[in-house]
Amino acid sequence: MSKYFTVAIQKEDEWFVAKCLENSVASQGKTIDEATGNLREALILYYEDGVLPVLPQTFVTTLEIAL
User: Which tens digits make up the pLDDT trace of 23-62?
Assistant: 999 999 999 999 999 999 999 999 998 877 787 788 889 9
| CB neighbour list of residue 39: distance below 8 Å, 6 or more residues apart | 7, 18, 19, 20, 25, 26, 27
Give the residue ranges of DSSP H helices in the chain. Answer: 32-46
Domain count, the chain: 1
- As a whole number of angstroms, the distance between CA 61 and CA 36 comes to 20
pLDDT surpassing 90 at residue 4? no
pLDDT of 3 reads 84
**So what's the pLDDT on residue 50?**
81
**In which domain, by residue range, is 59 found?**
1-67
CATH number at residue 11: 3.30.160.250
Its pTM stands at: 0.83
Task: State residue 16's pLDDT score.
Answer: 98
Q: Up-side HSE of residue 42: CA atoms within 13 Å toward CB?
A: 19
- Give backbone dihedrals phi and psi of 19, rounded to 5 degrees, phi first: -130, 130
